[in-house]
Structure 1
Amino acid sequence: MTSWIRWQDSLWPSPGEGDSPWRPWSGRIEKFLPYALLALSTVLSLLLSGSDPAVTLGLVGIAAVWLLLTFTLLPERWAEHPVVVAASFAGLVTIAAVLEGHETIFLIFMITGFFDAMRLRPAPLALAGIFVVSALINTMPDGGPLRAFAEQPALWTVITLVQTAAVGGGGLASAAMARQHAERKRVLDELAAAQEENAVLQRQLLSQAREAGVLDERQRLSQEIHDTLAQGFTGIITQLEAADEAKSDPVEWQRHVGSAMALARENLTAARRSVRALGPQPLAGATLPDALDEVSRLWSGRTGVEVRFTTTGTSRALHPEIEATLLRITQEALANVEKHAAATIVGLTLSYMADQVTVDVRDDGRGFEPGTARPAGDSGFGVPGMRARVARLAGTLHLESEPGGGTAVSANLPALEVRP
């Protein structure tokens, strides 16, 4: 039943079914074909037949009026009502049968009945209508269906059934083509909608990526400023405060002032270079072990805290971002030792492994309880900044400390080597 309904709807859509893919041509056929076939039959009859033209034209006039009243001029709200369609079909087939009985050439007009039958509802009634039209179109020239089926029932039954199956099969094939066309159109519409949605999402993602990139760059700049200028100024302030406390000792005072001046010059140079490139200056033209050795030596000379630097494994050139991150973490860890630990010895170890590289900074200072609030005056870029740097490169940061037991910071990153 469902397939027959689809067949009817696809091959001969109702006026309200404007979205049917067959509507452009089926609408025109539905509107003009009955009149065209009637006119063609009439012209051929007048040219070829010897019958009284007045009778022929009278019957043709009745057929035309019936088409106008029940089809063309019928209000749209009634056009597809099953009762109206059945009445229209019955009248059309009756008039066409009379015309064909009068003149055989009007079997051309009878073809209209096949199309009108396809509008019948429900589907079995449409099939019955096709059967009736087939029987009339084949038997009217031989005296009508009653006489033909009475004289040769097997012959006319087979002919009618075959023609009914052919017309119905054509309808089903047309319905299948219509469904395929509609499905393709639906898929294309969905694909177009999906592409438009993807384009919108892509624009949103690009916008979000730009915003994230701006935020990430701001965070990076903040960390660079903290790791260069802020640390330098902290060291200068520390040396100047120590010099102020050593006013009574000219030698000690001079040592702290000299350290402050040296640190200021170093910080100024680093700031100028950072403005140009924002890169970790100790790595410029140096390997990571050499850069860490220089940083620890300068820090030790400034603070008076011994630094024991060692390297394990086979050193090799790593990706610049990896080396820069390890350098910055070392600088931040040493800055935290200077500000908070009151340590006497710091151990700094750079370890190269097969697929990882690690920096460990350990001190023998006062330590603290992990998880407690940061000491007053902490800028907030210490441990959180180190964690953020490591996380961006898929690494890990471990912090161990206890009151009176010193602190250990370990940063582990993937050992991504430089590819030629």
Structure 2
Amino acid sequence: MDVDLLELSSIEAERTSQNPGGIARILSGTFFLLLLTAAYWFHSSESFGREFSVSVFAGSALGFVMQRSRFCFFCNFRDYYREKDPRGALGILTAIAVSTIGTFTVFEAWIPLPNAGYLPPNAFVGPVQVHLLLAGFSFGLGMVVSGSCISGHLYRIAEGSFGSIPTLVGVVFGFVLGFLTWNSFYSLWIAEAPVIWLPQHLGYAGSLILILFVLAVAAFAITRNGIVPDGKKESNEILHSRGNRFPNVLFEGRWPSWIGGILVGLISILYYLRVRPLGVTSELGRISRTLANSFGILPDRLYGLDSIAGCATKQEVHALTINAVFIVSLIAGSFVSSLAASQFHFLIPDLPGRKILIYWFGGIFLGWGACVAVGCTFGAFFSGISAGSLSGFVFAFGLIPGILLGNLVLNGSNRNF
């Protein structure tokens, strides 16, 4: 199978942005003003309030940064695995390090004694058992088949990604399958699984040192084996964007991955401090659960699901949920960026029906994995590790064989994905 089958759009990862035309500038500015208006309306509304307003700002900022720096968990891993380009993977490690330091600072203010017997509010600290490895395996396989993780598909909608929509439809189907298998997994593994929050065992300092050490070892290994292609160095340096003035300088080329990582880490800290941890699957899971219940195909009760920390799928007070606002804002923020940088391109590839089916199939694996893990690469992995949860590391270990198997099946044992 050709590699281009997995590409989400016609945009090359390192292609230098062009100066946007008048229509693109107007549309980008319009989306920006709409985001400001939405944030103000939510903040002034008695029915919604500050958390919804903050979600608009945080979601749009995250979408903007992800699009500018190409912050995608799978794509950055693929760049390293296929081309030995370490920049994206180092950006992810940077984001986790920044988020972990900031999150632990918040924890210490909220819970001075981590061994007091209770967990930090809303933090993604989940049960640790075999189900996380299976969920990670499924999610990793889904990333290879569909071409990205769920958050990557969300921001690439705003780039005109052909594969993102059928993938997200597949995610809904995958969530439904996850709900159908949940009770069996819960009784078999999850119900008695330990919830391991590292600060309860090692303290804040010990846990932070351990996590940063693991990240440093990973960064050293990636740097030692990685090679930055000479032809791509210029496009990766925003500081050398051919002398353009602000704000055009923001839309020239790809932002350095380390800048994207720092900004994603800071956004995650501020969003957790004001609202909740970063996560993008709660609303997708809630929609899936509502649809499945409307057809009467789910069990009357999903044991323990709504009590596990993570991207919860239960009904909220408002039909318009905080996570829905966050996701829509993420897509809109990416639109602002892609339009301003002239990186919105929608093209229908050859054999579109076949590719839609493959993207949809990959989405099913993503959805099932996200349902069983109660989170995706942003929730279970990124926010989990940042919170000092062992579950985040276990989910990450599950991702690796899923990615490798997907590469083997799709591209052959002697080809890279």
TM-score with structure 1 setting the length = 0.21
CA radius of gyration, larger in? 1
TM-score with structure 2 setting the length = 0.21
The higher-RCO structure (CA 8 Å, 6+ apart) is 2
Which one has the bigger strand percentage? 1
